[in-house]
Amino acid sequence: GAGVSQSPRYKVAKRGQDVALRCDPISGHVSLFWYQQALGQGPEFLTYFQNEAQLDKSGLPSDRFFAERPEGSVSTLKIQRTQQEDSAVYLCASSLGTFQETQYFGPGTRLLVL
């Protein structure tokens, strides 16, 4: 079946603009994760959903970052008033179950803030 998809693949924003990044998880996957990957580094956890419930948002770097998954499938990561340090690749992953299951990743959205 189809894997995790993300859109857009690339996004250029001017500093101060708001952006919205979309993730379509694998159909039927309960858990959804967002990670931020800076250039040359490993991904870092941002937030976690179990169905529509956001169970962990401890990795969100500031209150400018907001994520939602209103119907328990598609998720959107929104960044308000973007800053240059927000430039990174944003990875979405999903897993079938709810605890320590294998996560399957999307291709990522590369965000460049000028």
Catalog residues that contact other proteins under the rule CB under 8 A: 31, 33, 35, 40-45, 48, 50, 55-56, 59, 89, 91, 93, 98-100, 102-108, 110
Cα three-residue angle 9-104-39, rounded to 5 degrees = 50
Q: CA–CA separation, 93 vs 33, rounded Å?
A: 5
Task: Judge whether 19 and 10 are in contact, CB under 8 Å.
Answer: no
Nearest distance from C-beta of residue 46 to other proteins, angstroms: 9
Torsional sign, CA 19, 82, 57, 48: positive
41 is written with which tokens? 């580094």
27 is written with which tokens? 């159909």
Which of 83/98 has CB closer to other proteins? 98
Which of 56/85 has CB closer to other proteins? 56
Spatial CA neighbour of 102 closest among 50, 31, 53:
31
Nearest distance from C-beta of residue 105 to other proteins, angstroms: 4
Nearest distance from C-beta of residue 19 to other proteins, angstroms: 18
Which of 1/40 has CB closer to other proteins? 40
Nearest distance from C-beta of residue 45 to other proteins, angstroms: 4
